[in-house]
Structure 1
Amino acid sequence: MALKLLFRPFLSIPVKSLSAAHPSVLCEISVLPRSITCHVPLSAVTMPATRTFFTSQVFKHTFNIQDGEDFQDRVLKSQKPVVIDFHAQWCGPCKILGPRLEKVVAKQQGKVLMAKVDIDEHTDLALEYEVSAVPTVLAMKNGDVVDKFVGIKDEDQLEAFLKKLLGP
C-alpha cells in the first residue's frame, strides 16, 4: 500500500507521454508483476537507463484466474496439485486467509500451486464447484477435487491440509 502511494504520481502518467518526452524512449507496462519499465538511451539522460517500479510482491506459485479457459489450462491440466482459493474483495475473512495460504504454499517450494478465483468475477466457476460461502478452498490433483474447507484456518491447519494433498 505504501509503495502504491509513493509511486502513484509515476504510475498515473500515461505511457504515451513518457514516450513523447524523447522519441527514442520505449515504455512497457507489465500486468504481472504490476510494473512500468522505461528504456531510455544513455544519450538522452544522465541517470540509469532502466527504471522499474513494482507495486506488488511477486509470488511464483500463486496466480489469479482470468477466465474459464485460464482455469482449464492452469488448474485442471496442471501436473502439480493446485489449491484454489475462492474469495471476494468485500470478504474480511478472505483478506485474512489469503496471505496465510500464500505463505504456506510458498513454503512448499513449488510442489503445489495456488489459484485465486474472485467469485464476483467468475460466478460460473463458483457455481460449478458449489461454492456457497467464502472463503472456500479446494485442493485439486489431476483435475479432481480431493479436499475442501470453508472459513479461516491457522497456519498449522493449512500445513496439514497441504500435507494431506501432497501425500506421504
Structure 2
Amino acid sequence: MSSVCMQGFNSMMASRQLLRRLVPMVTSSVRCHHCLRLPQPMLSCQSHVTKMTTPPVRSLAASAKFECINIQDEDDFQQRVLDSKTPVVIDFHATWCGPCKLLAPRLESIIAGKAGKVILAKVDIDDNADLAMRFGVNSVPTVVGIRNGQPLGKFIGLQEDDIIDTFVEKLIN
C-alpha cells in the first residue's frame, strides 16, 4: 500500500473512532455505497469517499417501551417508586463504580425487552445515602425489586443476563 493510500486510510480510521465516541450506538462499519467493501475499495475509490454513510442509529428507547427514572430525593422515591402501580427495579449505583457501569446496560436491555411491564429506577448512593441505608445497601451495585411498595428481592454485584432476567420475571409475575 502506498504512503498516500495509508494516510487516507489512517485519516478514515481516526474519523471513524471519533464518530464511535460521539455516537456509541453505531456498531457496524462505515461503507462506500459504490464498493460496499472496506477498506481496500475505499483507498482506490476516492470519488466515492464523500458518499460514505453510517447505518441509522437506533436507540434502545426507540426499540421498546422503556421507562428509566433517576431518583432525586426521598420524596421523589416515594412518589415514583413506592407509590408506583408498575413493578420497579431499583439500581443502587455510584458513578465511580466499575461493575455498576457494566451492569447498567444489561439491566436497561433486559427491562426494555419487558415492554413497559417494569420500570428501572436509578439511585446514586452518593446523592441518596439515606435511601441506600434504608434498603441495606452495603456494596454497589445492589439491585432491589419493588412491587406495590414492598421489596420482593435483591441481588448484589454484577450478574449474568439470565439471572437478571429471572429476577425481573419474578418481579413481574
Which of the five TM-score ranges fits, normalised by the shorter chain? Answer: 0.5 to 0.7
Equivalenced residues, count: 116
Q: Which residue of 2 aligns with 1:157?
A: 163
Q: Which deviations, in whole Å up to 9, do the C-alpha atoms of 1:51-110 show, x marking residues without a partner? A: xxxxx9758411110111110100000001000000000000000001100110000000
Distance 2:99 2:83 in 1: 29
Which structure has the larger Rg over C-alpha atoms? 2
Distance 2:108 2:67 in 1: 8
Aligned partner of 1:66: which letter?
Q
1:138 correspondence with 2:144: yes
Report the identity percentage.
Answer: 50
Distance 1:164 1:85 in 2: 16
Q: Which deviations, in whole Å up to 9, do the C-alpha atoms of 1:29-48 show, x marking residues without a partner? A: xxxxxxxxxxxxxxxxxxxx
Q: Which residue of 2 aligns with 1:84?
A: 90
Q: Which residue of 1 aligns with 2:125?
A: 119
Aligned partner of 2:140: which letter?
V
Normalization by structure 2: what TM-score? 0.63
Q: Which runs of 5+ in 1 are unaligned?
A: 5-55
1:166 correspondence with 2:168: no
User: Which stretch shows the higher mean deviation, 157-166 or 77-86?
Assistant: 157-166
Aligned partner of 1:155: which letter?
D
Alignment match of 2:73 (pick from 67, 75, 84): 67
- Cα deviation for residue 3 of structure 1 reads 4.7
- Cα deviation for residue 166 of structure 1 reads 1.3
- Cα deviation for residue 165 of structure 1 reads 0.9
Distance 1:57 1:123 in 2: 29
Q: Which residue of 2 aligns with 1:2?
A: 22
Q: Which deviations, in whole Å up to 9, do the C-alpha atoms of 1:123-165 show, x marking residues without a partner? A: 0100111100000000000000000000111111111111111
Q: Which residue of 1 aligns with 2:43?
A: none
Q: Which residue of 2 aligns with 1:103?
A: 109
Distance 1:110 1:57 in 2: 13
Question: CA RMSD for the aligned pairs?
Answer: 1.8
8 Å contact kept, 2:66–2:115:
no
Aligned partner of 1:100: which letter?
R
8 Å contact kept, 2:60–2:112:
no
| Closer/same/farther in 2, CA of residues 144 and 99 from structure 1, 3 Å limit | same
| Runs of 4+ that moved beyond 4 A | 56-59
Q: Which runs of 5+ in 2 are unaligned?
A: 1-20, 25-58
